[in-house]
Chain A
């Protein structure tokens, strides 16, 4: 296993930056997820690491080797593709044997390695089948087996679970995590599903528009999103964002809505809010940190319920605060109805404040 280091990596297509000066280090044995919406450059980044496309600038190291100009076959990596890319005309056994054949291993070695990989993944009974005779989950295992079979330095995975149905995806997620724990493998994992990243990865790299937005542990990304994009991308349901305006009354600082209500800020939050480049500040709150009142109480702001979505153990309620929507989670025993007038209470210790102009998170000066 080895670490992977990207230094100022750039990929352009004409004048478009698909990957824009991305630098990150994947430590040996770490599971790193590249997440972001489609077109954010995450798959391009992965392909650059694999060597499937040519870089426009920057350096990539795998282990102690600079691999910028190496062919994929010489980088000692394995890759699992979204559509599995199993060789349709070869049996499962031959699919697994192919990487070993290309490395000119002896027949007996190949057989031994294929059989042991098959055993690990519990696909021994499928070895003589062709890929089209397998279910999605089985194909997924074979693809994993083909990556596993020759002890690569790095595993690259390109949305490996996105073609599976919801139930199987959850199951394979667990297995992949276990697989990583057992092998202590270095994994770079691309997904558009932030939940996969949060549940599996040691670190997640959130990308958007070719830029690396934030690279940190899932917990830190969740707790301290660096900007509004990351805040709204990570977490489900997404963080509610309410654009407001900073007003001061002497030493007191409050946020004022276009409708006229004001939310006084705690001292810590007041210091943050005052660092904003303009008076515009966006308040962010996760559903679990927001309380809902059916009567007006001090420190609350008024809103109107838009929808009520029971999910069984939690009921999500969308509340209109003027023009913005705030999502609140409630115990299912609480009965509320659409169009009901309610009051929202924010937890001052858990709200996020963003600069309304730069969209960056505000920190205390």
Chain B
């Protein structure tokens, strides 16, 4: 009888382990793995890493208008100083805040309302959902022209309607009035992106377990209590990500203000991005615009940190 026994309590044979590889050896061993990500990495390096690096570099230079960068002049932090002390920077920052906060808030609230209303089987639900998503899908350029036509000072349908219903005596010139221009384009932005919030939250609602809702119903919770105690906690994660993405998109938006008002009238709709574009390609001051971009970078990185955190909630165990 051949019995080969090893037991936890028994003597263990001398270990003959291969040595644990160090980081360099591990990189070499996984060499093949890297070839899979090489193309993606290469493109990202070229189109993302390089630009980031170069933007930071340019932000310390005064750049010539003909863009021959070998003639750029080092100016240290002058660009930053010039931006942060200019009055226009703070006006633009104010506009950017208004634009971002109101767009995000209303897009989220409307999206949440739509998601809750759509989270029930009824006839035409799919069609309705698709219809509401169309503004999100179409080009912002087309949307901007459509709304520009709606807001048109003489022949715009909104002006005509407000006269028709007796709100005003004559059509309002929405886009040429410093008080109405910013709210007017915020409405367009909300029109464009509320359905993004809707679709995200709708997907989030699908993760609310039916059993839990039924259990709560049995336990005597009314509709509002069920929403507040069961649905909302489940939506917390999705809401975080959605709001973050909306904030980022809004901070980065360019097309709607650029096409509808070009930052005007009198800078009333100028936000960071239109300002940077104007500085770079209107006045050809790349150094200054780069410094502006770096400031924006820093804000974005802070938001990005929260974005990744929100995105990887519960994924840590799997990835780590």
Contact = CB atoms under 8 A, between A and B. Distances in A.
Contacts of B3: 214-216, 226
5 contacts: A8-B13, A212-B6, A213-B7, A224-B1, A360-B9
Interface in B6-34: 6-10, 12-13, 15-18
Given A10-B17, A57-B17, A359 B4 contact: no
Contacts of B8: 209, 211
Interface residues of A, number: 25
B15 A10 contact: yes
A12 B17 contact: yes
A214 B13 CA distance: 16
B5 interface: yes
B2 interface: yes
A211 B15 CA distance: 14
A23 interface: yes
A358 to B, nearest CB: 5
Given A8-B16, A56-B17, A214-B5, 12 more contacts: A8-B13, A20-B6, A20-B12, A21-B6, A23-B4, A56-B18, A212-B4, A215-B4, A216-B2, A220-B1, A358-B10, A360-B7
Contacts of A70: none
Contacts of B2: 215-216
The B contact surface, by secondary structure, is loop
A226 B1 contact: no
Contacts of B12: 20-21
Interface of B: 1-10, 12-13, 15-18
A-B complex: 7 closest residue pairs judged by Cβ atoms: A211-B6, A57-B17, A57-B16, A215-B4, A21-B13, A226-B5, A358-B9
B23 to A, nearest CB: 16
A215 B5 CA distance: 8
B304 to A, nearest CB: 31
Contacts of B15: 10, 21, 57
Contacts of B18: 56-57
A177 to B, nearest CB: 24
Interface in A180-223: 209, 211-216, 220
Contacts of A358: 7, 9-10
A224 B3 CA distance: 10
B201 to A, nearest CB: 32
Nearest to B6: A211
A227 interface: yes
B5 A213 contact: yes
A274 to B, nearest CB: 20
B30 to A, nearest CB: 12
Interface in A22-79: 22-24, 56-58
Contacts of A21: 6, 12-13, 15
B6 A213 contact: yes
A333 B44 CA distance: 80
Contacts of B13: 8, 21
B4 A24 contact: yes
Nearest to A230: B5
A22 B16 CA distance: 12
A22 B12 CA distance: 11
Contacts of B7: 211, 213, 227, 358-360
Nearest to A220: B1
B296 to A, nearest CB: 43
A232 to B, nearest CB: 14
Contacts of B17: 10, 12, 56-57
Contacts of A57: 15-18
B8 to A, nearest CB: 6
A44 to B, nearest CB: 15
B106 to A, nearest CB: 45
A20 B16 CA distance: 11
A355 to B, nearest CB: 10
A56 to B, nearest CB: 6
Contacts of A211: 6-8
A20 B17 CA distance: 11
A125 B16 CA distance: 52
Interface in A1-30: 8, 10, 12, 20-24
Contacts of B16: 8, 10, 57-58
A12 B4 CA distance: 21
Interface in A85-137: none
A227 B3 CA distance: 12
B4 to A, nearest CB: 5
A205 to B, nearest CB: 9
B64 to A, nearest CB: 57
Contacts of A10: 15-17
Nearest to B4: A215
Nearest to B29: A54
A216 B5 contact: no
Contacts of A359: 7, 9
Contacts of B6: 20-22, 211-213
Given A10-B17, A56-B17, A216 B9 contact: no
Most buried by A among B1, B7, B15, B18: B7
Contacts of B5: 212-214, 226-227
A216 B5 CA distance: 11
